[in-house]
Structures are given as C-alpha cells and as structure tokens.
Amino acid sequence: MDGAIHRAGGPAILQECMEIRKKQGGCPTGEAVITTGGKLSARFVIHTVGPVWQGGNGNESLLLKRCYENSLKLAASHQLNSVAFPNISTGVYHFPKEHAAEIAVKTVREFLASNNLPSEIIFACFDEENYSLYRRLLNV
C-alpha cells in the first residue's frame, strides 16, 4: 500500500516523510504521522506502521490497535471529516485477516463513541475475504 500511495501521490509525500524522519527518526510500530496528499485527491495521508505477525506473541494485537487509535487521533486533531483505512498488516505482514478486522472495527467504534471527528470511516478492502469480514462485522 505504501508504494502505491507514493507512486500516485508524487514526490511531495516522500519529501515530507524524509523531513519527518530527519526530525524524529523513523515511525515506530503502532505510531502514526501525517503528510500532504501530494497529487492524490486526499488532502492528507496518515502513515502508520503496522505490526508483523509473529504468532501473536509480540504484542501484535495491541500494536495494531494503536495504529488505528493514533491515526484517528491525528485525523481528529487535523479536523478531518473522513478517513479511509486499508487492511493494515494483513498483506506482507501476515496478520490474520479476521483478527485484524475485529481489532479495526472495535477500535474505530470505541474512538467514535467519544469523538466527533472523523465523522466518516471507510474500510478499503482489497480482496473478497476482507470485504466479507468487514461486511459481517459492520452488519451491512
């Protein structure tokens, strides 16, 4: 996902990421940073580092939850009305899709229960398995 965003968004996103790295170092797993959207139709891109699945023994569930929480906090602090999330860590990081979807939906629901922004959350599912999981969890 990261490569696709950088290709479509152009060099402005990468430039801001490099500036963030100079200022604070890398982005630790579970944390999030925000940059311009570059050439994307989105004004901003929130970048988060998802956990690599290690069998569930490395705090992966907590770290994934923090990805969503920290991304949502950034969105709210920048007064963003909508946020689109990919299926964080379920690709090359091999986080089990069903468990990841449960964490995503629960964390977003908890955040929205006590925050007005963002007011719209989109779960962008890139395969039928994730799409089915999110439809079931969201009762749609």
Confirm whether 127 is a catalytic residue: no
Quote the tokens at residue 131.
Answer: 């799409």
Q: Residue type at 17?
A: C
Annotated active-site residue in 1, 2, 46, 70: 2
Burial class (CB in 10 A: 0-12, 13-18, 19+), 123: buried
Residue 130 phi, psi dihedral angles, 5° rounding: -65, -40
Q: Distance between CA atoms of 40 and 4, rounded to whole angstroms?
A: 11
Give residues with Cβ within 8 angstroms of 121, minimum separation 6.
82, 83, 84, 85, 108, 112
Quote the tokens at residue 89.
Answer: 């860590």
- Residues with active-site annotation: 2
